[in-house]
Each structure stands twice: as structure tokens, then as C-alpha cells.
């Protein structure tokens, strides 16, 4: 896509180098705006599900049926793909087979309970998704199992309370 030409200058404005410099400035600004409009970072990154690698589709294993996927870090994902999307319960495991997370999916979106664990097996957080959106009370714990905080989401995924 070619950059949008600069807005025309006022008829009394000086022409020549100033016009070229202004055109270059507008082009750079437009380029910066287009490249800055990428996907925003997840503001709740600590709450992201390790089992949710790759979003709602599973490009590495396009066939339907039971899946076992090995990630570069050694984590193993297990679940079922239906119509090219995650469906049912997906679990992630450490290299030693310890459960890291369990998330329920419906037609490629996290829908239902989510449980994520610390490497020592203690609960890291528990929550609920509704069609890919966190809803209700999510409880976060430290590695010893003590409650660190509680976050409450409304039906749109907006944080309503945090204690």
C-alpha cells in the first residue's frame, strides 16, 4: 500500500524544499501510525493460559481428533481439535508430565473453567471464561498456595474489583 499523499498546502505557503520536507514528514508519520496499530499486548498477561498457545486455531496440527503438541520449551499440549479448532478440555504438561494448565474450549474459544498451576503443582490461578472472555471471580495464589489476590470480571471481561 502506497503512503497517502500529503495534504495540499495553503496557496500562499512556500513551495519547493519545504513541500518535500513536509511530504516526507507526513509519509513517516503515516508509516509510524500504520505500524503502531498492531495487536495490543494483553493487559492481563499474568493471567494468560499457558495452554492457550496459538489462539483459537491449531495451525501445527490441522487434522481433527485428539492432538499432542510438543512446544519448543518442552511443554506438551493435549486436547481435541474439531473443525480445525480446539474443543473440549486442553491440558498442558511439564517435560516431567506434571499438569501446568487445564482449559475448556468450545469451538476454538476458551469457554468454561480454567486452572493454571505453579511448577510445584500448587494452584497459580482459577477462573472461568465465557466465549473467550474472562468472567466472574479469578483467584490467584502464590507457590505455597496462599491467596494473593482476587479479580472480579463482569460479563464483558472488564475488571470490576480487585482485592
Task: Report the pLDDT value the prediction gives residue 16, as an integer from 0 to 100.
Answer: 47
3 state DSSP class of 87: strand
Question: Taking a C-beta distance cutoff of 8 angstroms, is the pair 90, 78 a contact?
Answer: yes
Burial 68-106 (b: 16+ CB within 10 A, else e): ebeeeeebebebbbeeebbbeebebbeeeeeebbbbbbb
First to last CA, the chain: 48
> 134: part of which helix (H) or strand (E)?
strand 133-141
Helix (H, G, I), strand (E, B) or coil at 78: strand
Residue 35 is predicted with a pLDDT of 31
118 burial via Cβ count (<10 Å: 0-12, 13-18, 19+): middle
| C-alpha closest to that of 74 among 46, 53, 49 | 53
Tens-of-pLDDT digits for all 163 residues of the chain? 444 444 333 334 344 444 444 344 334 333 333 333 333 333 343 444 444 444 444 455 468 999 999 999 999 999 999 999 999 999 999 999 999 999 999 999 999 999 999 999 999 999 999 999 999 999 999 999 999 999 999 999 999 999 9
Q: Identify the CATH assignment for 49-162 out of 3.30.2450, 2.20.110, 3.40.50, 2.60.120.
A: 2.20.110
Q: Which residues on adjacent β-strands are paired with residue 137?
A: 152
pLDDT at 53: 43
Amino acid at each position: 500500500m502506497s503512503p497517502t499523499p500529503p495534504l495540499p498546502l495553503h496557496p500562499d505557503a512556500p513551495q519547493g524544499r519545504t513541500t518535500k520536507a513536509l511530504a516526507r514528514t507526513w509519509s513517516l508519520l503515516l508509516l509510524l501510525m500504520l505500524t503502531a496499530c498492531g495487536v495490543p499486548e494483553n493487559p492481563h498477561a499474568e493471567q494468560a493460559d499457558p495452554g492457550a498457545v496459538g489462539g483459537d486455531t491449531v495451525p501445527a496440527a490441522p487434522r481433527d481428533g485428539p492432538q499432542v503438541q510438543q512446544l519448543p520449551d518442552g511443554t506438551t499440549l493435549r486436547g481435541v481439535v474439531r473443525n480445525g479448532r480446539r474443543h473440549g478440555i486442553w491440558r498442558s504438561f511439564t517435560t516431567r508430565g506434571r499438569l501446568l494448565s487445564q482449559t475448556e474450549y468450545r469451538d476454538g474459544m476458551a469457554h468454561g473453567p480454567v486452572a493454571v498451576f505453579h511448577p510445584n503443582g500448587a494452584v497459580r490461578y482459577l477462573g472461568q471464561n465465557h466465549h473467550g472472555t474472562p468472567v466472574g471471580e479469578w483467584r490467584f495464589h502464590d507457590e505455597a498456595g496462599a491467596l494473593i489476590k482476587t479479580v472480579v470480571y463482569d460479563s464483558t471481561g472488564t475488571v470490576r474489583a480487585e482485592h
